[in-house]
Structure 1
Amino acid sequence: MKKYLISPLEQYRKVRYWCGDESRFGLQTITGKLITLTGVKPVGFTQWKRDNFYIYGVVEPLTGDNFVLEFSHLDTVCFEIFLEKLAALYPEDLHIIQVDNGAFHFSNYLQVPENIILLFQPPHTPEVNPIERLWKEIKKTLRWECFQTLDELREAVWKQLDQLSAYQVKSITGWDFILEALFVSGFS
């Protein structure tokens, strides 16, 4: 009797393409433009506290699905935990995740789950990762806010993340060239 090997792709229900990144959220005030009357100098209150936390996230531009977790810092251990939780959330799917070249993304100590493939974007090109736009949208709502504690900031950030619908995430991250490439590749 012949033994047949199962193709690695055949063991998965579907293949999903994600864009992943991390973003720092801190008590230092995010500044931006202020609208005032002509001739009136804009005044904004700022603070320079250095306390912060990080949000690790992935978005699927094709569907608008997203997965985010909060960590106290950036390192290989936190990234590995993030990948394990994503892999466990969708265990029957194969996940291709576009990431930047952060040292912890390709550390020798990183254990990547079997159903995840990391796809590294070219160095120094954050503009090719759609999740960067999502972070920008979240931070835009936090401009000129002075949070006294990390808990206050955390609550505001998670409120913004929880309010995002899949449609909104898809409209922010679903760039035409990515969607066309996924369609041609048979992802849709």
Structure 2
Amino acid sequence: MAAIMSRHPGKDIEIWWADEARIGQKTKLTRRWARRGTRPRAVADLRTRSAWIFGAICPEKGTAAGLVLPVCNLHGMQLHLAEISRTVARDAHAVLVVDQAAWHTSQKLEVPGNITILPLPPRAPELNPVENLWQFMRNTWLSNRIFRTYDDIVDIACHAWNQLVDQPWRIMSIGLRDWAHRL
């Protein structure tokens, strides 16, 4: 972190976290409220159409940048980096913390000048707060439902992401990791 700060003197450093989540027809049942002694019904779907939410958050500022795309690959990550770059404050430099998925660390990735990518250790998803956001979004807006078409998947995924973006306090609450700011 000190090396990144020394390469960008006079700039505020924003710590961003990024990850992707598959949203689709193969749904997962979750808990739901019901009257004691009853067995509530929940819909389930075994079809496999899906879309991907590429999401990034800056918990300190309560801001986020995201895209809903049909596939999860290098091109999608490139589009996501451009979206994050537009969202980073003008006088700031973003440190984007990601897992080590191939599309996050590829040499073919063209990283914008206002972003530095910092990979997490391998097999450590619990360090990335975006994982907790996916869990919150699934529990709140995406579970126990049937997506009839691919367009339904995209519409609901966009709606869920926009609902989250409209709640900066939620991004701060779920996403803030004090230890990351002490590095």
TM-score grouping bracket, smaller chain normalisation? 0.7 to 0.9
Structure 2, gaps ≥5 residues long: 1-5
Aligned length: 174
Deviation at 1:33, TM superposition (A): 2.6
1:104 corresponds to = 103
Deviation at 1:88, TM superposition (A): 3.4
- Residue of structure 2 aligned with 1:72, choices 70, 84, 87: 70
Deviation at 1:149, TM superposition (A): 1.4
Structure 1 Cα separation of the partners of residues 10 and 57 of structure 2 = 23
Query: Structure 1 vs Structure 2: percent identity of aligned residues?
Result: 26
Runs of 4+ residues deviating >4 angstroms? 34-42
Go from structure 1 to structure 2 and tell me whether the alpha carbon gap of 1:85 and 1:161 turns closer, same or farther (over 3 Å shift).
Answer: closer
**Contact 1:64–1:170 (8 Å) recurs in 2:** yes
Structure 1 Cα separation of the partners of residues 33 and 9 of structure 2 = 56
Deviation at 1:74, TM superposition (A): 1.1
Deviation at 1:41, TM superposition (A): 4.4
TM superposition score normalised by structure 2: 0.84
Q: 1:96-130 deviations in whole A, cap 9, x for unaligned?
A: 01100101111121121222111111111111100
Q: Residues 1-188 of structure 1 correspond to what in structure 2 (within 5 A)?
A: 8-10=7-9, 12=11, 14-36=12-34, 40-90=38-88, 91-141=90-140, 142-164=142-164, 165-178=167-180, 182=181, 184=182
Structure 2 Cα separation of the partners of residues 60 and 16 of structure 1 = 7
Deviation at 1:92, TM superposition (A): 4.0
Go from structure 1 to structure 2 and tell me whether the alpha carbon gap of 1:167 and 1:34 turns closer, same or farther (over 3 Å shift).
Answer: closer
Query: How large is the Cα RMSD of the aligned pairs?
Result: 2.1
Deviation at 1:61, TM superposition (A): 1.8
TM superposition score normalised by structure 1: 0.82
Q: 1:8-51 deviations in whole A, cap 9, x for unaligned?
A: 31364x21110111111111122123455565445422111111
Larger Rg: 1
Amino acid at match of 1:99: V
Structure 1, gaps ≥5 residues long: 1-6
SS of residue in 2 equivalent to 1:17: strand
**Contact 1:75–1:104 (8 Å) recurs in 2:** yes
